[in-house]
Amino acid sequence: IGGPKWQKASKTPEMGLLQLRKALGLYANIRPIQVSTSIAHLSPLKAEIVSGSDFVVVRELTGGIYFGEPKHWNDEEALDSLVYTREEIRRICVQAFEIAQGRKKKVTSVDKANVLESSRLWRQTATKIGKENPDIELEHILVDTASMRLITSPAWMDVVVTENMFGDILTDEASVLAGSMGMLPSASLGESGVGLYEPIHGSAPDIVGKGIANPIGTILSTAMLLRYSLKLEVEAAAIEKAVDETITAGARTADIGGK
């Protein structure tokens, strides 16, 4: 969604997307990042750094500075409010620990607890959930360190859980590991079972009609739909396997070195 046509509109498409997430109670954004050996050389980073990276970012999606009130701006000053409740933090951390149970059993909680009061509550709450899951390793790191580790040693991560704005920035940074934002899917989930599935990228007005858009993020989002909303794990894995085999066979769009 979005584009130059709507940039000056009083209500932008992006505002509609935020409202959709909020109205459906989709508080958990799940973004898997995988870099197979067959495409590691396409990354702007060294292949040996990114090869084998396989982690999931769990981003809180309906709280934080994007939704905090009050907010305003004029020519002289601007105000954004960063607000989190314990319950908002608790439920996203529970989601992260549940995902970690089916993976390498490691959760990295990202905050800015050395500066932000909201992050101090975040760290305290994450620690409590960690004690309730003693079989899972929990580490706390500052968002500064997380942004550096994404570039220097992404393979260390398993499940990363963080607040709304940090998650937005870190997942866009992580998207370059695979060589293109067009590669990555996402799921937005709530407690109702309803999910919103989309590639992590926005619209691309500059390439409309050229037949060069990368469909992989959209296709893999469908795999996530099968897995999380419909509980069809075998079918989801089949789609992911087909995508991996297709890329390995050399069928690639321009953004990942193909034609």
**Catalytic site residue 104?**
no
Contacts of 252 (CB under 8 A, 6+ apart): 258, 259
Annotated catalytic residue 135 = no
What is the SS3 assignment for 249?
coil
Query: Is 75 one of the catalytic residues?
Result: no
Residue with tokens 């899917």: 185
Q: Does residue 222 contact residue 195 with C-beta atoms inside 8 Å?
A: no
**231 tagged catalytic:** no
Active-site residue, from 54, 80, 172, 244: 172
Identify which of 56, 62, 66, 47 has the alpha carbon closest to the alpha carbon of residue 110. 56
* Residue 259 structure tokens: 């034609």
Which residues lie closer than 8 Å to 182 by C-beta, 6 or more apart?
199, 201, 213, 214, 215, 216, 217, 253, 255, 256
- Environment class of residue 109 by beta-carbon count within 10 Å: exposed (0-12), middle (13-18) or buried (19+)? buried
How far apart CA 187 and CA 124 sit, in angstroms, is: 26
| Residue 168 designated active-site | yes
Q: Among the options 22, 54, 66, 244, which is catalytic?
A: 66
In the block, residue with structure tokens 């009061």: 117
CB 65 within 8 A of CB 81: yes
27, 84, 158, 168: the catalytic one is 168
Q: Which amino acid is at 27?
A: Y
Measured distance CA(43)–CA(110) in Å, rounded:
24
- CA distance linking residue 218 with residue 216, whole number of Å: 5
Task: Considering the candidates 46, 104, 144, 241, report the single residue annotated as catalytic.
Answer: 144
Set 112, 158, 228, 255: catalytic member = 112
Residues marked as catalytic: 66, 112, 144, 168, 172
